[in-house]
Amino acid sequence: MAGGAEIKAPSPNVNGKAEILKGNFEPTAMKVEPLPPVVPENGVEKPSEKSRNIVLGRNVHSTCLTITEPEVNDEVTGDKEAQMAGVLARYRKNLMERTKYHLGYPYNLDFDYGALAQLQHFSINNLGDPFIESNYGVHSRQFEVGVLDWFARLWEIEKDEYWGYITNCGTEGNLHGILVGLVEVFPDGVLYASRESHYSVFKAARMYRMECVKVDTLVSGEIDCSDLRPKLLANKDKPAILNVNIGTTVKGAVDDLDVVIQTLEECGFSHDRFYIHCDGALFGLMMPFVKRAPKVSFKKPIGSVSVSGHKFVGCPMPCGVQITRMEHINVLSSNVEYLASRDATIMGSRNGHAPLFLWYTLNRKGYKGFQKDVQKCLRNAHYLKDRLHEAGISAMLNELSSTVVFERPRDEEFVRRWQLACEGNIAHVVVMPNVTIEKLDFFLNELVEKRSTWYQGNVQPPCIAAEIGKANCVCALHK
């Protein structure tokens, strides 16, 4: 697996037949079909609302940017160019504004990739196996393998013992990791995952038609191994495929990998009868730099690890890294003559630009740079949690996390303004490297001001002790 672009630590000085359309095509003659109504789970159709046409968000179809045809001989006129430029300029302004109020989703917006602008003119496609060069020459495999080697060192597995690739997103990493566990290792295996696992884990179970057992969690969001134990014993005749969360989606809880392995062993599962996939979408890159954190390492009996590249790393497009053991990948692989390569990924074509962005950032920051970012995020997350408590707002922060959970704001416009991720009675802020103390103060001051209008007279803040624990709830019952 040699030949990857080497990533070095930054030096001190380097900061059916086709029918042909005849006649004139008139876009305005096309009939626009109405969207079907959205029916909630109880089967009762919800009345339509003028400002909101679907249940879980706004109907973008009502505000989309229509594509208009060029006016003369398929040529783009100066007026057309100017119109498009205006649209893009307004869009850029909107992006800048929305970025200022970005707190609820785990994306690191602190990056500058101006140096890579020179490469945007190329169609870079990493077809097939990252370690086998195909006939398509416009690729970035050397960068991809360099990135994979970096993560292999981080998760302690030798170059000749691992296989991996850069995925199109974190979900693909989970889909691939679980697929390896099912197809290659245990075709009759049962998938176990905590209830607070990412939705992609349960999507994988549906796609692969796997038997899936949901495991309860502690208040923190961490998997409850006292519930895992009887569920494992109930299926002791079948191998176990486990998803272990290195940071849950909502609460940022980290499952204790060592305790999960111990539970498997105590239930009579030898290492050749279980497969563990570690979903480290966000915290998979943070945990190595946190003291007292459960260590994710291939020196332990795990099968695969995945992490997102557009989260903590700060890649401007969705992507991720998936690494598994070389011994597990053979059944999934098939030779493709058309590519002159081997297919072992979920997607055929893969974004060849993403490895460039990842390689660039890893070179600039190195382990020490990421360590500083992690320390900053944890410190600022504790600041936010403390300020929320001082303001009389229920909040929780897991020890190993930068995800601050608090009571859900009553005003949905406030939620949209700050792009908060909500679930039931709780919301969260994910403190990333680009989130400063000043931004947190701005958010807190606005939240406190809004709360003073939400809760007046007999209207009291909700009790969220069931979600975050009594010790973190400061409602009237738990002050």
Q: Answer yes or no: is pLDDT of 129 > 70.
A: yes
Model pLDDT for residues 328-358, shown as the tens digit of each residue = 998 787 888 777 778 889 998 899 999 999 9
Q: Check residues 66 and 250 and name the one with the higher pLDDT.
A: 250
Residues 127, 247, single domain; the answer is yes
Closest CA to 308 of 289, 281, 345: 281
pLDDT (0 to 100) of residue 26: 42
Q: Report helix angle 225-234 to 257-266, nearest 10.
A: 30
Residues 336, 446, single domain; the answer is no
Decide if 8 is inside a domain.
no
Decide if 385 is inside a domain.
yes
Q: Check residues 77 and 192 and name the one with the higher pLDDT.
A: 192
Identify the domain containing residue 228 by its residue range: 117-364
Residues 432, 320, single domain; the answer is no
Task: List, in sequence order, the alpha helices (H) in 104-250.
Answer: 141-154, 170-179, 199-207, 225-234
- CATH code for the domain in which residue 324 is found: 3.40.640.10
Q: How confident is the model at residue 397 (pLDDT cuts 50, 70, 90)?
A: very high
Q: Distance between CA 221 and CA 207 in Å, rounded? A: 25
Residues 182, 319, single domain; the answer is yes
Decide if 93 is inside a domain.
no
Domain stop point among 333, 364, 395: 364
Decide if 137 is inside a domain.
yes
Write the single-letter amino acid at 245: N
- CATH code for the domain in which residue 409 is found: 3.90.1150.10
Decide if 217 is inside a domain.
yes
Mean pLDDT of 439-452: 97
Q: Answer yes or no: is pLDDT of 303 > 80.
A: yes
Mean pLDDT of 59-65: 73
- Of these ranges, 77-81, 184-188, 298-302, the one predicted with the greatest mean pLDDT is 298-302
Q: Answer yes or no: is pLDDT of 29 > 50.
A: no
CB 172: neighbour CB atoms within 10 A?
Answer: 23
Residues 451, 348, single domain; the answer is no
Q: Which member of 140, 194, 401, 402 is catalytic?
A: 401
pLDDT (0 to 100) of residue 27: 36
pTM value is: 0.86
Decide if 62 is inside a domain.
no
Residues 295, 223, single domain; the answer is yes
Instruction: Using DSSP bridges, classify how beta strands 304-308 and 320-325 pair: parallel, antiparallel or unpaired.
Output: antiparallel
Domain stop point among 329, 344, 364: 364
Domain stop point among 364, 391, 415: 364
Residues 317, 386, single domain; the answer is no
pLDDT (0 to 100) of residue 72: 66
- Residue percentage of the chain with pLDDT more than 70: 86
Residues 180, 304, single domain; the answer is yes
Q: Check residues 400 and 379 and name the one with the higher pLDDT.
A: 379
Average pLDDT along the chain = 88
Residues 467, 324, single domain; the answer is no
Decide if 111 is inside a domain.
no
Task: Tally DSSP H helices, then E strands, for the chain.
Answer: 10, 13
Mean pLDDT of 240-252: 97
Residues 195, 316, single domain; the answer is yes
Q: Which residue has the tokens 């009675």?
A: 425
Q: Distance between CA 3 and CA 159 in Å, rounded? A: 11
> In the sheet that 190-194 helps form, which strands lie side by side, from edge to edge?
162-167, 320-325, 304-308, 274-279, 240-245, 190-194, 212-215
**Domains of the chain: total:** 2
Decide if 209 is inside a domain.
yes
Is residue 401 annotated as part of the catalytic site, yes or no? yes
Residues 317, 222, single domain; the answer is yes
